[in-house]
Structure 1
Amino acid sequence: MPLSSLPDLPEDKTWNFAYVGRDTSSGELQIDLQKRSFIGIKDIWHPSLVDCLKLRRVRQLTATTYEAAYWSAGTASSLEPRTVIAKVARFEWEIPRLSMETSIYKILQNTGLAPEFVGHVHEHGRIIGFLLTKLEGREASIEDLPLCQSVLKRLHDVGILHGDANKYNFIVHGDTVHLIDFESSKLCDVASASMHAELESLREQLREGTRRGAGFIPLHRLN
Protein backbone atom coordinates (compact mmCIF):
# COMPACT_ATOMS: atom_id res chain seq x y z
CA MET A 1 0.00 0.00 0.00
CA PRO A 2 1.58 3.35 -1.02
CA LEU A 3 1.93 5.90 1.77
CA SER A 4 0.07 8.44 -0.36
CA SER A 5 -3.11 6.34 0.00
CA LEU A 6 -3.17 6.73 3.79
CA PRO A 7 -5.48 9.33 5.31
CA ASP A 8 -4.08 12.15 7.43
CA LEU A 9 -3.17 10.93 10.91
CA PRO A 10 -3.35 12.98 14.13
CA GLU A 11 -0.26 15.10 14.75
CA ASP A 12 -0.13 14.62 18.50
CA LYS A 13 1.50 12.42 21.14
CA THR A 14 -1.53 10.25 21.87
CA TRP A 15 -0.21 7.47 19.60
CA ASN A 16 3.09 6.07 18.36
CA PHE A 17 1.95 2.87 16.62
CA ALA A 18 -0.56 2.46 13.80
CA TYR A 19 -2.03 -0.79 12.51
CA VAL A 20 -3.38 -0.35 8.98
CA GLY A 21 -5.60 -2.92 7.28
CA ARG A 22 -8.82 -3.43 5.37
CA ASP A 23 -12.15 -4.70 6.59
CA THR A 24 -12.55 -8.26 5.29
CA SER A 25 -16.18 -7.65 4.35
CA SER A 26 -16.34 -4.10 3.02
CA GLY A 27 -12.72 -3.60 1.99
CA GLU A 28 -12.75 -0.25 3.78
CA LEU A 29 -9.43 1.00 5.12
CA GLN A 30 -9.13 0.62 8.90
CA ILE A 31 -6.54 2.28 11.12
CA ASP A 32 -5.98 1.41 14.77
CA LEU A 33 -3.84 3.97 16.63
CA GLN A 34 -2.14 2.80 19.82
CA LYS A 35 0.23 4.08 22.47
CA ARG A 36 2.91 1.44 23.06
CA SER A 37 6.14 1.07 24.98
CA PHE A 38 8.90 -0.08 22.64
CA ILE A 39 11.87 -2.07 23.87
CA GLY A 40 15.35 -0.59 23.69
CA ILE A 41 18.94 -1.47 24.47
CA LYS A 42 19.41 -1.51 28.26
CA ASP A 43 23.20 -1.72 28.61
CA ILE A 44 23.92 2.03 28.45
CA TRP A 45 27.58 2.22 29.44
CA HIS A 46 29.04 5.00 27.26
CA PRO A 47 28.55 8.66 28.30
CA SER A 48 27.73 9.89 24.78
CA LEU A 49 24.09 9.72 23.63
CA VAL A 50 23.34 10.76 20.04
CA ASP A 51 19.89 11.57 18.64
CA CYS A 52 19.29 9.48 15.51
CA LEU A 53 17.88 12.57 13.78
CA LYS A 54 21.25 14.32 14.17
CA LEU A 55 22.94 11.80 11.86
CA ARG A 56 23.17 12.44 8.13
CA ARG A 57 23.13 9.17 6.20
CA VAL A 58 25.94 9.00 3.64
CA ARG A 59 26.05 5.41 2.41
CA GLN A 60 24.07 2.27 3.28
CA LEU A 61 26.31 -0.69 4.12
CA THR A 62 23.90 -3.38 5.36
CA ALA A 63 20.25 -3.43 6.38
CA THR A 64 21.03 -1.93 9.80
CA THR A 65 24.41 -0.29 9.18
CA TYR A 66 25.32 2.89 7.35
CA GLU A 67 28.08 5.43 7.05
CA ALA A 68 27.02 8.73 8.58
CA ALA A 69 28.15 12.30 9.04
CA TYR A 70 28.10 13.29 12.70
CA TRP A 71 28.66 16.61 14.43
CA SER A 72 29.65 15.88 18.03
CA ALA A 73 28.33 17.98 20.91
CA GLY A 74 29.89 21.43 20.95
CA THR A 75 31.01 21.24 17.32
CA ALA A 76 29.90 24.12 15.10
CA SER A 77 27.72 22.94 12.20
CA SER A 78 29.91 24.98 9.84
CA LEU A 79 32.85 22.67 10.56
CA GLU A 80 33.47 19.38 8.79
CA PRO A 81 31.50 16.53 10.42
CA ARG A 82 33.07 13.36 11.68
CA THR A 83 32.50 10.26 9.55
CA VAL A 84 31.24 7.37 11.65
CA ILE A 85 29.57 4.00 11.23
CA ALA A 86 26.01 3.89 12.59
CA LYS A 87 24.30 0.63 13.44
CA VAL A 88 20.64 1.20 14.24
CA ALA A 89 17.68 -1.14 14.77
CA ARG A 90 14.76 -0.54 12.41
CA PHE A 91 12.41 -3.02 14.08
CA GLU A 92 11.97 -4.30 17.62
CA TRP A 93 13.15 -7.80 16.71
CA GLU A 94 16.58 -6.35 15.85
CA ILE A 95 17.07 -4.90 19.34
CA PRO A 96 18.30 -8.13 21.06
CA ARG A 97 21.11 -8.61 18.52
CA LEU A 98 22.26 -5.01 18.84
CA SER A 99 21.97 -5.29 22.63
CA MET A 100 24.46 -8.15 22.60
CA GLU A 101 26.76 -6.24 20.28
CA THR A 102 26.62 -3.16 22.52
CA SER A 103 27.71 -5.26 25.51
CA ILE A 104 30.48 -6.91 23.49
CA TYR A 105 31.91 -3.51 22.57
CA LYS A 106 31.97 -2.61 26.26
CA ILE A 107 34.19 -5.63 26.93
CA LEU A 108 36.43 -4.81 23.96
CA GLN A 109 37.09 -1.17 24.84
CA ASN A 110 40.83 -0.42 24.90
CA THR A 111 41.78 -3.89 23.64
CA GLY A 112 42.63 -2.76 20.11
CA LEU A 113 40.53 -5.61 18.71
CA ALA A 114 37.56 -3.58 17.47
CA PRO A 115 36.62 -0.07 16.31
CA GLU A 116 36.24 2.63 18.95
CA PHE A 117 32.71 2.89 20.34
CA VAL A 118 31.67 6.53 19.83
CA GLY A 119 28.30 6.50 21.61
CA HIS A 120 24.75 5.19 21.88
CA VAL A 121 22.09 6.21 19.33
CA HIS A 122 18.66 7.06 20.72
CA GLU A 123 15.17 7.85 19.47
CA HIS A 124 13.31 10.06 21.97
CA GLY A 125 15.50 8.61 24.72
CA ARG A 126 15.11 4.95 23.72
CA ILE A 127 18.49 3.43 22.83
CA ILE A 128 18.26 1.77 19.41
CA GLY A 129 21.87 1.48 18.24
CA PHE A 130 25.39 2.85 18.42
CA LEU A 131 28.15 4.70 16.58
CA LEU A 132 31.64 3.39 15.78
CA THR A 133 34.74 4.95 14.31
CA LYS A 134 35.14 4.26 10.61
CA LEU A 135 38.11 1.98 10.03
CA GLU A 136 40.33 2.40 6.99
CA GLY A 137 41.41 -0.81 5.32
CA ARG A 138 40.26 -3.79 3.28
CA GLU A 139 38.69 -7.17 3.86
CA ALA A 140 41.01 -10.06 4.71
CA SER A 141 42.35 -12.63 2.26
CA ILE A 142 44.09 -15.98 2.68
CA GLU A 143 47.44 -14.14 2.72
CA ASP A 144 46.33 -12.52 5.99
CA LEU A 145 45.68 -15.85 7.72
CA PRO A 146 48.40 -15.52 10.42
CA LEU A 147 47.26 -11.99 11.37
CA CYS A 148 43.59 -13.01 11.42
CA GLN A 149 44.32 -16.11 13.49
CA SER A 150 46.16 -13.96 16.01
CA VAL A 151 43.37 -11.39 16.40
CA LEU A 152 40.67 -14.08 16.58
CA LYS A 153 42.65 -15.94 19.25
CA ARG A 154 42.93 -12.69 21.25
CA LEU A 155 39.15 -12.31 21.01
CA HIS A 156 38.72 -15.85 22.32
CA ASP A 157 41.16 -15.12 25.16
CA VAL A 158 38.78 -12.48 26.53
CA GLY A 159 35.95 -15.03 26.43
CA ILE A 160 34.13 -13.99 23.25
CA LEU A 161 33.12 -16.25 20.36
CA HIS A 162 32.72 -14.07 17.26
CA GLY A 163 30.04 -16.23 15.65
CA ASP A 164 30.49 -14.94 12.08
CA ALA A 165 34.21 -14.87 11.32
CA ASN A 166 33.88 -14.33 7.57
CA LYS A 167 36.57 -12.45 5.62
CA TYR A 168 34.57 -9.20 5.55
CA ASN A 169 34.50 -8.98 9.34
CA PHE A 170 38.30 -8.62 9.44
CA ILE A 171 39.50 -5.13 8.47
CA VAL A 172 43.17 -5.15 7.46
CA HIS A 173 45.29 -2.00 7.43
CA GLY A 174 49.00 -2.65 7.03
CA ASP A 175 50.00 -5.09 9.76
CA THR A 176 46.93 -4.32 11.87
CA VAL A 177 43.66 -6.27 11.86
CA HIS A 178 40.42 -5.28 13.58
CA LEU A 179 37.24 -7.31 13.98
CA ILE A 180 33.77 -5.91 13.32
CA ASP A 181 30.13 -7.08 13.39
CA PHE A 182 29.49 -8.82 16.72
CA GLU A 183 25.73 -9.41 16.25
CA SER A 184 26.21 -13.18 16.42
CA SER A 185 28.81 -13.12 19.19
CA LYS A 186 28.40 -14.67 22.61
CA LEU A 187 30.36 -15.12 25.79
CA CYS A 188 32.02 -18.52 26.08
CA ASP A 189 34.48 -20.38 28.26
CA VAL A 190 38.00 -19.84 26.97
CA ALA A 191 39.26 -22.75 24.83
CA SER A 192 35.74 -24.07 24.27
CA ALA A 193 34.96 -26.45 21.42
CA SER A 194 33.11 -23.63 19.62
CA MET A 195 36.17 -21.41 19.73
CA HIS A 196 38.37 -24.21 18.44
CA ALA A 197 35.95 -24.83 15.56
CA GLU A 198 35.86 -21.11 14.73
CA LEU A 199 39.65 -20.97 14.49
CA GLU A 200 39.77 -24.16 12.43
CA SER A 201 37.26 -22.76 9.92
CA LEU A 202 39.15 -19.50 9.42
CA ARG A 203 41.32 -20.72 6.53
CA GLU A 204 38.21 -21.68 4.54
CA GLN A 205 36.46 -18.43 5.49
CA LEU A 206 39.32 -16.37 4.06
CA ARG A 207 39.18 -18.35 0.81
CA GLU A 208 35.43 -17.76 0.47
CA GLY A 209 34.55 -16.22 -2.90
CA THR A 210 30.76 -15.91 -2.81
CA ARG A 211 30.76 -12.46 -1.09
CA ARG A 212 28.81 -13.91 1.83
CA GLY A 213 28.92 -11.28 4.55
CA ALA A 214 29.99 -8.47 2.22
CA GLY A 215 26.89 -6.32 2.76
CA PHE A 216 25.14 -4.45 -0.03
CA ILE A 217 26.66 -4.44 -3.53
CA PRO A 218 26.37 -1.05 -5.32
CA LEU A 219 24.36 -1.30 -8.54
CA HIS A 220 27.22 0.03 -10.67
CA ARG A 221 29.28 -3.02 -9.65
CA LEU A 222 26.59 -5.36 -10.96
CA ASN A 223 26.61 -3.91 -14.48
Structure 2
Amino acid sequence: MSVLSKSDMEILSQYIDDEHGCYRLRAGPRVYYLTISTDVFDDDTMCRPYLLIPRLPDLPNTPWTTMAISRDQDGSLASIISTDPLPEIRTTWHERRIDVLSLTRTRRIRSGVHEVQYDGAPAIAKMACFQWEIPRIEHETWAYSIITHHRSQHAHESPMAPSFLGHLIENGRTIGFLLEKVDGERARPDDLPRCEALLRRVHRLGLVHGDVNRYNFIVNRDAENSVYLVDFEHCTEFDEGLAREELLSLPAELAEETGRGTTVTLP
Protein backbone atom coordinates (compact mmCIF):
# COMPACT_ATOMS: atom_id res chain seq x y z
CA MET A 1 0.00 0.00 0.00
CA SER A 2 1.29 3.44 -0.93
CA VAL A 3 1.77 5.74 2.07
CA LEU A 4 2.08 9.50 2.40
CA SER A 5 5.57 10.90 2.68
CA LYS A 6 6.27 12.35 6.11
CA SER A 7 8.88 14.67 4.57
CA ASP A 8 6.04 16.42 2.73
CA MET A 9 3.69 16.83 5.69
CA GLU A 10 2.71 20.05 7.42
CA ILE A 11 0.43 20.69 10.37
CA LEU A 12 -1.75 23.60 9.24
CA SER A 13 -3.88 23.88 12.39
CA GLN A 14 -4.08 22.18 15.75
CA TYR A 15 -6.37 22.23 18.78
CA ILE A 16 -5.58 20.26 21.93
CA ASP A 17 -7.73 19.76 25.02
CA ASP A 18 -7.51 17.35 27.95
CA GLU A 19 -8.71 14.35 25.94
CA HIS A 20 -7.74 14.81 22.30
CA GLY A 21 -5.49 16.63 19.92
CA CYS A 22 -7.12 17.66 16.65
CA TYR A 23 -4.89 18.32 13.66
CA ARG A 24 -5.39 19.64 10.15
CA LEU A 25 -2.60 18.06 8.17
CA ARG A 26 -1.41 18.81 4.64
CA ALA A 27 0.28 15.94 2.86
CA GLY A 28 1.12 16.72 -0.74
CA PRO A 29 -1.84 18.36 -2.49
CA ARG A 30 -4.49 17.19 0.00
CA VAL A 31 -5.55 18.00 3.55
CA TYR A 32 -6.44 15.35 6.13
CA TYR A 33 -7.81 15.53 9.68
CA LEU A 34 -6.36 13.59 12.61
CA THR A 35 -7.74 13.10 16.11
CA ILE A 36 -5.20 11.71 18.58
CA SER A 37 -5.98 10.71 22.17
CA THR A 38 -3.79 12.66 24.59
CA ASP A 39 -2.51 9.42 26.15
CA VAL A 40 -0.91 8.36 22.86
CA PHE A 41 2.10 10.71 23.03
CA ASP A 42 3.68 12.97 25.62
CA ASP A 43 2.63 16.63 25.85
CA ASP A 44 5.65 17.95 23.96
CA THR A 45 5.03 15.63 21.04
CA MET A 46 1.32 16.48 20.93
CA CYS A 47 2.07 20.21 20.86
CA ARG A 48 5.05 20.34 18.50
CA PRO A 49 4.48 19.31 14.87
CA TYR A 50 8.16 18.63 14.23
CA LEU A 51 8.06 15.99 17.00
CA LEU A 52 4.61 14.65 16.14
CA ILE A 53 4.92 14.01 12.40
CA PRO A 54 7.83 11.50 12.63
CA ARG A 55 5.92 9.48 15.24
CA LEU A 56 2.68 9.21 13.30
CA PRO A 57 1.77 5.79 11.92
CA ASP A 58 1.98 5.33 8.16
CA LEU A 59 -0.88 7.23 6.54
CA PRO A 60 -2.34 5.68 3.39
CA ASN A 61 -2.07 7.67 0.19
CA THR A 62 -5.79 7.50 -0.56
CA PRO A 63 -8.56 10.14 -0.40
CA TRP A 64 -9.62 9.47 3.19
CA THR A 65 -10.88 12.38 5.30
CA THR A 66 -10.36 11.65 9.00
CA MET A 67 -8.28 9.32 11.15
CA ALA A 68 -8.63 8.64 14.88
CA ILE A 69 -5.42 7.41 16.54
CA SER A 70 -5.30 5.71 19.95
CA ARG A 71 -3.34 2.97 21.72
CA ASP A 72 -4.45 -0.61 22.14
CA GLN A 73 -4.21 -2.35 25.51
CA ASP A 74 -0.84 -3.77 24.47
CA GLY A 75 0.47 -0.24 23.82
CA SER A 76 0.54 -0.46 20.03
CA LEU A 77 -0.92 2.30 17.89
CA ALA A 78 -4.41 1.77 16.53
CA SER A 79 -6.18 3.88 13.94
CA ILE A 80 -9.64 4.15 12.46
CA ILE A 81 -9.96 5.79 9.05
CA SER A 82 -13.08 7.37 7.60
CA THR A 83 -13.84 8.45 4.05
CA ASP A 84 -17.09 10.16 5.04
CA PRO A 85 -17.44 13.65 3.53
CA LEU A 86 -16.81 16.52 5.92
CA PRO A 87 -19.31 19.34 6.52
CA GLU A 88 -18.88 22.44 4.42
CA ILE A 89 -20.24 25.94 3.98
CA ARG A 90 -23.44 25.87 1.96
CA THR A 91 -23.93 29.60 1.45
CA THR A 92 -21.83 29.75 -1.71
CA TRP A 93 -23.01 32.76 -3.69
CA HIS A 94 -19.76 34.22 -5.11
CA GLU A 95 -18.60 33.08 -8.55
CA ARG A 96 -14.93 32.75 -7.51
CA ARG A 97 -13.55 29.61 -5.86
CA ILE A 98 -9.95 29.69 -4.55
CA ASP A 99 -7.97 26.63 -3.45
CA VAL A 100 -6.72 27.46 0.03
CA LEU A 101 -3.44 25.61 -0.62
CA SER A 102 -2.72 27.89 -3.58
CA LEU A 103 -2.35 30.89 -1.28
CA THR A 104 1.00 31.94 0.16
CA ARG A 105 0.62 32.75 3.85
CA THR A 106 2.60 35.79 4.93
CA ARG A 107 1.33 36.34 8.47
CA ARG A 108 -0.79 34.48 11.01
CA ILE A 109 -3.31 36.83 12.58
CA ARG A 110 -5.12 34.27 14.71
CA SER A 111 -6.39 30.71 14.40
CA GLY A 112 -8.08 30.36 11.04
CA VAL A 113 -7.20 33.91 9.93
CA HIS A 114 -4.09 34.64 7.86
CA GLU A 115 -2.75 37.41 5.72
CA VAL A 116 -1.95 35.86 2.34
CA GLN A 117 -0.84 36.84 -1.13
CA TYR A 118 -3.54 36.68 -3.78
CA ASP A 119 -3.32 37.96 -7.33
CA GLY A 120 -0.21 39.97 -6.45
CA ALA A 121 -1.71 41.77 -3.45
CA PRO A 122 -2.21 41.08 0.28
CA ALA A 123 -5.57 39.63 1.29
CA ILE A 124 -7.17 38.10 4.40
CA ALA A 125 -8.08 34.42 4.39
CA LYS A 126 -10.62 33.32 6.98
CA MET A 127 -11.58 29.67 7.30
CA ALA A 128 -13.04 26.95 9.47
CA CYS A 129 -10.02 24.92 10.52
CA PHE A 130 -12.20 22.24 12.14
CA GLN A 131 -15.74 20.96 11.70
CA TRP A 132 -17.20 22.75 14.71
CA GLU A 133 -16.21 26.12 13.22
CA ILE A 134 -18.26 25.66 10.05
CA PRO A 135 -21.49 27.27 11.44
CA ARG A 136 -19.60 30.42 12.48
CA ILE A 137 -18.00 30.89 9.07
CA GLU A 138 -21.27 29.97 7.36
CA HIS A 139 -22.99 32.76 9.27
CA GLU A 140 -20.38 35.34 8.34
CA THR A 141 -20.48 34.25 4.68
CA TRP A 142 -24.24 34.88 4.71
CA ALA A 143 -23.72 38.39 6.13
CA TYR A 144 -21.18 39.21 3.43
CA SER A 145 -23.60 38.04 0.75
CA ILE A 146 -26.06 40.74 1.85
CA ILE A 147 -23.38 43.41 2.12
CA THR A 148 -21.88 42.52 -1.26
CA HIS A 149 -25.26 42.52 -3.01
CA HIS A 150 -26.02 45.98 -1.61
CA ARG A 151 -22.61 47.25 -2.73
CA SER A 152 -23.21 45.96 -6.28
CA GLN A 153 -26.48 47.91 -6.39
CA HIS A 154 -25.03 51.10 -4.84
CA ALA A 155 -21.53 51.41 -6.27
CA HIS A 156 -21.47 55.16 -5.56
CA GLU A 157 -21.61 54.59 -1.78
CA SER A 158 -18.50 54.08 0.33
CA PRO A 159 -18.01 50.42 1.29
CA MET A 160 -19.15 49.17 4.69
CA ALA A 161 -16.80 46.20 4.86
CA PRO A 162 -13.78 44.81 2.98
CA SER A 163 -14.54 43.38 -0.44
CA PHE A 164 -15.41 39.68 -0.54
CA LEU A 165 -12.99 38.15 -3.07
CA GLY A 166 -14.25 34.57 -3.18
CA HIS A 167 -14.87 31.29 -1.39
CA LEU A 168 -11.96 29.20 -0.08
CA ILE A 169 -11.93 25.56 -1.16
CA GLU A 170 -10.13 22.62 0.44
CA ASN A 171 -10.28 19.17 -1.18
CA GLY A 172 -13.25 20.44 -3.19
CA ARG A 173 -15.33 21.61 -0.21
CA THR A 174 -15.94 25.21 0.86
CA ILE A 175 -14.34 26.06 4.22
CA GLY A 176 -13.97 29.86 4.24
CA PHE A 177 -13.58 33.06 2.29
CA LEU A 178 -11.03 35.57 1.10
CA LEU A 179 -11.33 39.29 1.84
CA GLU A 180 -9.65 42.42 0.58
CA LYS A 181 -7.03 43.62 3.07
CA VAL A 182 -7.84 47.17 4.16
CA ASP A 183 -5.36 49.34 6.03
CA GLY A 184 -6.22 51.42 9.05
CA GLU A 185 -6.29 51.66 12.83
CA ARG A 186 -8.68 50.54 15.52
CA ALA A 187 -11.43 53.00 16.35
CA ARG A 188 -11.09 55.61 19.12
CA PRO A 189 -13.74 57.53 21.08
CA ASP A 190 -13.43 60.51 18.73
CA ASP A 191 -14.38 58.21 15.82
CA LEU A 192 -17.86 57.81 17.31
CA PRO A 193 -19.73 59.87 14.64
CA ARG A 194 -18.21 57.87 11.76
CA CYS A 195 -18.65 54.51 13.48
CA GLU A 196 -22.23 55.28 14.43
CA ALA A 197 -23.05 56.35 10.88
CA LEU A 198 -21.58 53.12 9.53
CA LEU A 199 -23.46 51.01 12.06
CA ARG A 200 -26.75 52.68 11.12
CA ARG A 201 -26.05 51.81 7.47
CA VAL A 202 -25.57 48.17 8.45
CA HIS A 203 -28.86 48.28 10.36
CA ARG A 204 -30.65 49.68 7.32
CA LEU A 205 -29.46 46.62 5.41
CA GLY A 206 -31.45 44.49 7.82
CA LEU A 207 -28.50 43.34 9.93
CA VAL A 208 -27.31 43.71 13.51
CA HIS A 209 -23.53 43.29 13.73
CA GLY A 210 -23.52 41.70 17.19
CA ASP A 211 -19.96 42.56 18.28
CA VAL A 212 -19.18 46.26 17.89
CA ASN A 213 -15.98 46.31 19.94
CA ARG A 214 -13.45 48.93 18.83
CA TYR A 215 -11.21 46.38 17.14
CA ASN A 216 -13.93 45.45 14.66
CA PHE A 217 -13.84 48.96 13.18
CA ILE A 218 -10.95 49.72 10.82
CA VAL A 219 -10.44 53.45 10.40
CA ASN A 220 -8.27 54.94 7.64
CA ARG A 221 -7.39 58.38 8.99
CA ASP A 222 -5.95 59.48 5.65
CA ALA A 223 -9.27 59.13 3.84
CA GLU A 224 -12.45 60.99 4.77
CA ASN A 225 -15.31 58.70 5.81
CA SER A 226 -13.15 55.60 5.30
CA VAL A 227 -14.22 53.22 8.04
CA TYR A 228 -14.96 49.51 7.73
CA LEU A 229 -16.66 46.90 9.91
CA VAL A 230 -15.20 43.38 10.08
CA ASP A 231 -15.94 40.08 11.88
CA PHE A 232 -19.63 39.48 11.18
CA GLU A 233 -19.61 36.10 12.94
CA HIS A 234 -22.30 37.19 15.41
CA CYS A 235 -24.40 39.08 12.90
CA THR A 236 -28.17 38.53 13.04
CA GLU A 237 -31.20 39.66 11.13
CA PHE A 238 -32.39 43.11 12.13
CA ASP A 239 -34.18 43.42 15.45
CA GLU A 240 -35.10 46.92 16.60
CA GLY A 241 -34.29 46.27 20.23
CA LEU A 242 -30.91 44.68 19.49
CA ALA A 243 -30.03 47.47 17.07
CA ARG A 244 -30.87 50.11 19.67
CA GLU A 245 -28.75 48.33 22.29
CA GLU A 246 -25.87 48.08 19.83
CA LEU A 247 -25.96 51.79 19.10
CA LEU A 248 -26.21 52.70 22.78
CA SER A 249 -23.21 50.49 23.61
CA LEU A 250 -21.00 52.08 20.98
CA PRO A 251 -19.53 54.99 23.04
CA ALA A 252 -18.42 52.62 25.81
CA GLU A 253 -17.08 50.10 23.30
CA LEU A 254 -14.92 52.70 21.57
CA ALA A 255 -13.55 53.87 24.93
CA GLU A 256 -12.75 50.35 26.12
CA GLU A 257 -9.06 49.86 26.96
CA THR A 258 -8.82 46.32 28.34
CA GLY A 259 -8.02 44.78 24.96
CA ARG A 260 -11.21 42.70 24.90
CA GLY A 261 -11.91 41.74 21.31
CA THR A 262 -8.47 42.57 20.01
CA THR A 263 -6.66 40.36 17.54
CA VAL A 264 -3.48 38.70 18.71
CA THR A 265 -0.98 38.90 15.88
CA LEU A 266 1.64 36.19 15.74
CA PRO A 267 4.66 35.88 13.45
Structure 1-normalised TM-score? 0.88
Q: Which residue of the partner structure matches residue 133 of structure 1?
A: 180
User: What is the distance in 2 between the residues matched to 1:36 and 1:170?
Assistant: 40
- Structure with the bigger percentage of strand: 2
Paired residue type of 2:71: R
User: What is the distance in 2 between the residues matched to 1:88 and 1:202?
Assistant: 28
Identity of aligned residues (%): 40
Q: Which residue of the partner structure matches residue 22 of structure 2?
A: none
Map 1:69-218 → 2, pairs under 5 A: 69-71=117-119, 81-109=120-148, 110=151, 112-174=159-221, 175=224, 176-189=226-239, 192-218=240-266
Q: Which residue of the partner structure matches residue 35 of structure 1?
A: 83
Q: Which residue of the partner structure matches residue 70 of structure 2?
A: 21
Q: Deviations over 1:16-47 (max 9, x none)?
A: 21000112x32221111111111111111111
3-state SS of the aligned residue for 1:61? strand
Paired residue type of 1:45: W
3-state SS of the aligned residue for 1:201? helix
Aligned residue pairs: how many?
Answer: 206
Paired residue type of 1:104: A
What's the RMSD between the two structures over aligned residues? 1.4
Q: Which residue of the partner structure matches residue 26 of structure 2?
A: none
User: What is the distance in 1 between the residues matched to 2:210 and 2:232?
Assistant: 8
Question: Mean Cα displacement is larger for which, 105-114 or 197-206?
Answer: 105-114
Measured after TM superposition, the shift of residue 170 of structure 1 is 0.4
* Contact 1:140 1:168 survives alignment (8 Å): yes
Structure 2-normalised TM-score? 0.74
* Contact 1:60 1:216 survives alignment (8 Å): no
Q: Which has the higher contact order (CA 8 A, sep 6+)?
A: 1
Paired residue type of 2:165: V
Measured after TM superposition, the shift of residue 161 of structure 1 is 0.9
Structure 1 regions of 5+ residues with no counterpart? 72-80
User: What is the distance in 2 between the residues matched to 1:218 and 1:128?
Assistant: 22
3-state SS of the aligned residue for 2:253? helix
Paired residue type of 1:29: L
Q: Which residue of the partner structure matches residue 78 of structure 1?
A: none
User: What is the distance in 2 between the residues matched to 1:167 and 1:62?
Assistant: 17
Measured after TM superposition, the shift of residue 126 of structure 1 is 0.4
Q: Which residue of the partner structure matches residue 10 of structure 2?
A: none
Structure 2 regions of 5+ residues with no counterpart? 1-40, 42-51
Measured after TM superposition, the shift of residue 218 of structure 1 is 4.5
Paired residue type of 2:229: L
User: What is the distance in 2 between the residues matched to 1:4 and 1:33?
Assistant: 19
User: What is the distance in 2 between the residues matched to 1:82 and 1:186?
Assistant: 31
* Pairing 1:64–2:64 present: no
